[in-house]
Amino acid sequence: MKIGIIIHSYTGNTLSVAQKLKEKLTASGHIVNLEQVTAVNGDPKEARNVVLKDIPDTKTYDVLIFGAPVWAFSLSPIMKLYLSQVPSLQGKKIGCFVTQQLRFKLLGGNNAINKMKKACQSKGGSVYETGIVNWSHKQREAMIEEVVDRFGRV
Ligand SMILES: Cc1cc2nc3c(=O)[nH]c(=O)nc-3n(C[C@H](O)[C@H](O)[C@H](O)COP(=O)(O)O)c2cc1C
């Protein structure tokens, strides 16, 4: 299958998870592209006035995996804006994951995932997996492995 991993990553955590996922899916024989959503000014201080710069195209992919950081107990505004303007996701399988600094999913992770799920479902996409990596968790590496493993069974 042709799989697009489309992420927003400001400090590289989400990107590092996405790279592992790409390796896993590629090793399983899929064609995988990793693309980044960026903003004209990606500084979190400008989060209220986001203008997107790199806007990856979703059309050619059978499966899409979206990844982003949690910002202010919610989904990063850059991914939020990107998903709001993405065209129809009808017929596509979707995975959504977030990374967050805090150890508890209740502190933004769940909220961010719900926002991603709703945005994708509102465009007709079918969400097959969701995942949260808590960056300061002692078991972080195991959490990453678990997410990569689950998402890899596409
Ligand atoms: C502006 C901003 C707000 C953040 N807010 C939260 C938050 O509410 N909860 C949390 O757990 N982490 C928060 N973080 C930490 C990031 O979610 C975390 O470091 C994430 O893994 C960063 O991903 P990235 O390296 O791909 O950008 C915030 C980071 C930034 C820059």
pLDDT tens string 51-102: 999 999 999 999 999 999 999 999 999 999 999 999 999 999 999 999 999 9
* Tokens encoding 123: 């465009």
Ranges of each domain in the chain: 2-152
Q: From the CB of 101, is ligand 1 less than 6 Å away? A: yes
Amino acid code (one letter) for 101 = Q
Mean pLDDT of 25-35: 98
30: Cα separation from own chain's centroid = 18
Does position 13 have pLDDT exceeding 90, yes or no? yes
Q: What integer pLDDT is reported at residue 38 of this predicted model?
A: 97
CATH class, range 2-152: alpha beta
Provide CB contacts within 8 A for 140, sequence distance 6+.
Answer: 133, 134
Give mean pLDDT, residues 42-47: 88
> Ligand 1: which residue has its CA nearest to atom 5?
71
Provide the pLDDT confidence category of residue 154 given band limits of 50, 70 and 90.
very high
Mean pLDDT over residues 33-57, rounded?
A: 94
Query: Mutation test of ligand 1: which of 71, 110, 133, 143 has the most ligand atoms closer than 8 Å to its C-beta?
Result: 71
For residues 7-35, average pLDDT: 98
Are 100 and 67 a contacting pair, CB within 8 Å?
no
Instruction: Name the residue at shortest CA distance from atom 30 of ligand 1.
Output: 71
Query: Taking residues 106-119, what's their average pLDDT?
Result: 96
Rounded average pLDDT over 124-130: 97
Nearest CA, atom 4, ligand 1: 71
pLDDT confidence of residue 30: 98
Question: How many Å apart are CA 112 and CA 119, to the nearest integer?
Answer: 11
Spatial distance between the Cα atoms of 55 and 12, rounded to a whole number of angstroms = 18
Indicate if the pLDDT at residue 108 is higher than 90. Answer: yes
What are 71's strand-pairing partners?
74
| Distance (Å, whole) CA 89 – CA 59 | 8
Cβ of residue 33 lying under 6 Å from some atom of ligand 1: no
pLDDT the model gives residue 128: 96
- Give the Cα separation of 93 and 134 in Å (integer): 24
Model confidence band, residue 47 (pLDDT cutoffs 50, 70, 90): confident
Q: What is the rounded distance in angstroms from the CA atom of residue 40 to the CA atom of residue 54?
A: 8
Mean of per-residue pLDDT scores for the chain: 97
Describe the crossing of helices 109-122 and 77-85 by its angle, rounded to 10 degrees.
10
Question: Ligand 1 centroid vs 103 CA: distance in angstroms?
Answer: 12
